[in-house]
Amino acid sequence: MAKVNIVIVGAGIMGQGLAEAIAGAGHDVLLIDKTTKLAERGIKGIRESIDHEIERWGLTQSDKKAILARIHPTSDLSQVEDAEIILEAIPDDLKAKKKIFEQLDSLCDEDALLITNTSTLSISEIAAVTERPEKVIGMHFLNPVTKIPLVEFVKGLQTDDETFEKAVQFAELLDKQYITVNEYPGFVTTRIIVPMLNEAMHILMEGVASAKDIDRAMKLGFGFNVGPLTLADMMGLDVVMSWMENLLAELVEHKYNPCPLLRKLVRSGNLGVKTGKGFFVYDSEGNKIEENNVNSVKAN
């Protein structure tokens, strides 16, 4: 794919990962958030992510300079008007996503590719607020975007073939492999992973085993690279709980009802790696402090 004009709306964790991946592939990208301060905070997160890779010898200082030079933070949503690809990456809140797509629909070029990065929400419902539902598609990237090779393509009821092909080209630009998913709450990856995470939390809450041993069991017994409780901490416990609540609302199945222990941690502000404490304790660099893993957290 030749150089394209790409915009990301949302400078949170997913927006940061997408911006880093796009810039790493040699393309300039506009990173938009509600305020310039939030957009610049996204740049700070990207800088820290690259620094971690430099420490692991995965990137060089020259790579860092080149990547950051291609990412342009702003709060001016009107700058999407000339974009060829607009990727919305705000949290999974249907009302908020609908509002963004209404704005994008009024601002973007009629041929622009409109992508929503959602884990659980209906593409068709998001697309319905626009005058061009055929131009809207879901692309569910997984975190960390720069490392996980998968993206799920989710067509809305009116997504056309041209839009799908443009999305394929965009995935190829990022060197991603894809699966095609029929629209259904949770798609494939979220729908499978959520009940497993929830069950691991129940096992911990019931005192069956420690957090460390639960993760160790799944890593050694089933070949997981990361245990379920560590994975939940990495994703953000508030994010995981929002996925569960969305799936519970859509499918009305008890397996998606968030574990009381998860609810307690989220209410207390212990959201995992990003706050330094979740099921485990982390240092300021996001490294797990093994001796302080949370083995005896109770639901009451």
Amino acid at 208: V
The one-letter code for the residue type at 264 is: K
pLDDT tens digits along 197-231: 999 999 999 999 999 999 999 999 999 999 999 99
Looking at residue 112, its pLDDT comes to 95
Beta strand segments in 143-284, E? 150-155, 177-181
Gap between the Cα atoms of 121 and 82, Å rounded: 27
CATH 3.40.50.720 in the chain, residue ranges: 6-181
Percent of the chain residues topping a pLDDT of 70: 95
Report the run of H or E that residue 14 belongs to, with start and end.
Answer: helix 13-24
What is the per-residue pLDDT across 59-77, written as a single tens digit (0 to 9) for each? 999 999 999 999 999 999 9
pLDDT at residue 3, rounded to an integer? 57
pLDDT at 4: 62
Distances, alpha carbon 32 to alpha carbons 13, 39, 41, 61, 261, in Å: 13, 6, 11, 25, 35
Q: Among residues of the chain, what percentage have pLDDT more than 90?
A: 85
Domain 189-292 sits in CATH at: 1.10.1040.10
Count how many residues are written for the chain. 300
Phi/psi class of residue 136: alpha, beta or left (left: φ > 0; alpha: ψ in -120 to 50)? beta
pLDDT value of residue 58 = 87
Q: What is the pLDDT of residues 87-142, one digit of tens each?
A: 999 998 999 999 999 999 999 999 999 999 998 899 999 999 999 999 999 999 99
Which residues of the chain form CATH 1.10.1040.10?
Answer: 189-292
**Residue listed under structure tokens 């890593």:** 219
Question: What are the phi and psi torsion angles at 177 (to 5°)?
Answer: -95, 155
> Which of the four pLDDT bands, split at 50, 70 and 90, describes residue 287?
confident
d(CA 133, CA 265): 38
Please classify residue 167 by burial: count the beta carbons closer than 10 Å to its beta carbon, then call 0-12 exposed, 13-18 middle and 19+ buried.
Answer: buried
Give domain 6-181's CATH architecture: 3-Layer(aba) Sandwich (3.40)
Enter the pTM of the model: 0.86
Which residues touch 47 (CB under 8 Å, ≥6 apart)?
64, 68
